[in-house]
Amino acid sequence: MVFDFLKGEFIDVISWLDDTRDTMVWRFDRRGQAIKMGAKLTVREGQAAVFIHEGQLADVFTPGLYQLETNNMPIMTTLQHWSHGFQSPFKSEVYFVSTTRFNDQKWGTKNPIMARDPEFGPVRIRAFGTYSMRVTDPGKFMTEIVGTDGEFTTDEVTNQIRNQIVQSASQALAASGIPVLDMAANLEDLGKIIAEKITPKVGEYGLSIPEFYIENISLPEEVEKAMDKRSSIGVVGDLNKYMQFNAAEALNQPGGAMGAAMGTGLGAGIGFNMAAQAAGPWGAAQPPAAPAAAAPPPPPPPPAGKQWHLAENGATQGPFGDADLRRLAMEGRFTRATMVWSQGQDGWKMAAETELAALLDSLPPPPPKP
């Protein structure tokens, strides 16, 4: 009975079976018991066992089956001041560290990154993607990150790593000099640059980043809408010819001006014939009704004037004709400093540098105050 009691006071088997996918560190629960000298330690593949004795990092065991003795615990022997052949139970904390890859970790920029684009000028971009991480130095990971946490999961370290990634990503994207429209074709190269910047930083925690991916780089929604509008203008081509074509199509529709004119002429001819038949043989002899003259076709629509687009608050407004621009100028929304663009013009220019300067000069000054 005494032997069984003493045997229950000591631990003789130490191991860990991980049934989760996010546990990085698990502390072996010894429930106040001492570890018997000669106890068996099982460290499976993808694990490491770290002994912490009285708050100090002791021995680290890689995968294998061990019988704990003084000859394979050199640091513990030194800390305990064991003499050779001394077989004393000891109390130490044993932490199992998972050294497998933790995949599909998310990262993303909470705030837009300011960058200078060679085509659009200053732009705000966002980026997000995934990465994997692995513990490469269990001892350093325990001392730098975990401490005395009994169970440590990926969520407790990903926030710190995500901050490092966003900082490195912001620097890499801002300094890349790659146009925004070309970044999608360079995601792999940009990912390698960011991973190289992160590696020494996470290495200080005993970690590595085996894989790093950028899934998408995007612009603010209002900028993307402006780009879509600009692309639509490019697809249409000559705006003047496009508007003339639409006007001609409208005239040929049944409800258009041409259809209305034809309907009016046909109705007048029918009414004239009905009046002649009502007079009958009792009425004065009437000459045969002359056929109704076909209504002359309406004049062709006047050629559309030059159309202008205005840049306002980072978005494109328009198109506007001369009459619209006069109205906007009277409202104070169109000035000589307004950036404008029309079909065939080489990029955006101030209104004062285009033919619109004459339109602005012809406007009357503001009325005198009463």
pLDDT on residue 262: 47
pLDDT < 50: residue spans in the chain: 1-7, 258-272, 274-275, 278, 280-285
Q: Convert the pLDDT of each residue in 61-84 to its tens digit.
A: 999 999 998 888 988 888 888 766
CA-to-CA dists, residue 212 to 171, 177, 194, 257, 345, angstroms: 16, 21, 8, 63, 43
pTM: 0.56
Q: Convert the pLDDT of each residue in 84-93 to its tens digit.
A: 656 778 888 9
Fold of 221-248+305-370: Dna Ligase; domain 1 (3.30.1490)
pLDDT on residue 281: 47
Question: Residue 281 in 3-state DSSP?
Answer: coil
CA separation for the pair 106, 159 (Å, rounded): 10
pLDDT on residue 128: 92
Q: CA-based angle 276:279:265, to the nearest 5?
A: 20
CA separation for the pair 329, 91 (Å, rounded): 85
Query: Considering the domain 102-219 in this protein, what is its CATH number?
Result: 3.30.479.30
Q: Three-state SS across 117-168?
A: ECCCEEEEEEEEEEEEEEECCHHHHHHHHHCCCCEEECHHHHHHHHHHHHHH
pLDDT on residue 292: 60
Distance of CA 293 to the CA centre of its chain: 67
Residues listed for the chain? 370
pLDDT on residue 28: 93
Contacts of 219 (CB under 8 A, 6+ apart): 123, 124, 125, 126, 180, 227
CA separation for the pair 172, 181 (Å, rounded): 16
| Domain residue extents for the chain | 9-98, 102-219, 221-248+305-370
Dihedral sign, Cα of residue 168, residue 170, residue 171, residue 174: positive
